[in-house]
Structure 1
Amino acid sequence: MTINFEYHNVSASPRLEGLASEKLSKLENKYDFIVAADVYFKKENTSTPETGMICEIRLNVPGTTLFSQSNNGAFEVSLAKAADEVKIQLQKKKEKMQTY
């Protein structure tokens, strides 16, 4: 699986890339049909400190693209929540694939 990272209004971070790679490799070990992943880190100016750090994950799987987005006060929290959301989508996709 190839992982592409994109940053908007944020400088590139090897630590964030390492965290994202670790989470996505765990998903790839469990769901071997993942082809590629795109991870986006964005920073927006907001009025509250609890939001503004956005992480988006887009997974390419056969037949469709899975997408999740999370907006929190820290990129680590946003990454964890987005990974959890995409994991649920992967579970549903795998169940549908097994029924056919």
Structure 2
Amino acid sequence: MKVNTQAINFNADPQLLEFIQKRMNKLETYYDKVIQSEVYLKVEKTRNKLNKVFEAKINVPGDSFVVKKQCKTFEEGVDGAVASLERQLKKRKQKLQENFKNIS
């Protein structure tokens, strides 16, 4: 899956981009009809330690899913967002299968 990653107001480390790509690729095991995915990385200027914002948008036929996580590290945000997207994609796939059974 092609992941378009945008780091806002900073340059993302190549290791971080590779980590994001690997984790996002795992989503295809749950739902193989992902059209496109976009990732936004932001660092907020606050005194709060939770200043890293990870936002992911995934487009599938007829729908899109958006997840936003705010954490101490981007890796933590990626893990949380991917877990949430996994649940959403599984639910979508199950719903489509149930609709297909009802039609048949």
TM above 0.5, yes or no, is yes
Aligned length: 99
Residues 20-31 of structure 1: pairs in structure 2 closer than 5 A: 20-31=20-31
Matched position secondary structure for 1:47: coil
The answer on 1:46 being equivalent to 2:9 is no
Segments of 4+ in structure 1 off by > 2 A? none
- Identity, in percent, stands at 30
Read off the aligned partner of 1:17 and give its amino acid letter: L
Q: Describe the superposition over 1:26-46 as per-residue Cα deviations: whole angstroms up to 9, x where unpaired.
A: 111331111111011100012
In 1, distance between residues paired with 2:40 and 2:15? Answer: 14
List runs of 5+ in structure 2 lacking aligned partners.
Answer: 100-104
In 2, distance between residues paired with 1:84 and 1:90? Answer: 10
List runs of 5+ in structure 1 lacking aligned partners.
Answer: none
RMSD (CA atoms): 1.1
Q: Describe the superposition over 1:41-86 as per-residue Cα deviations: whole angstroms up to 9, x where unpaired.
A: 100012221x110101110101111110100111110111111111
Q: Provide TM-score, normalisation by structure 1.
A: 0.92
Match of 2:59 in 1: 60
In 2, distance between residues paired with 1:45 and 1:85? Answer: 26
Q: Provide TM-score, normalisation by structure 2.
A: 0.88
Q: Which has the larger radius of gyration?
A: 2
Kept in 1: contact 2:28–2:34 (CA 8 A): yes
Match of 1:18 in 2: 18
Matched position secondary structure for 2:42: strand
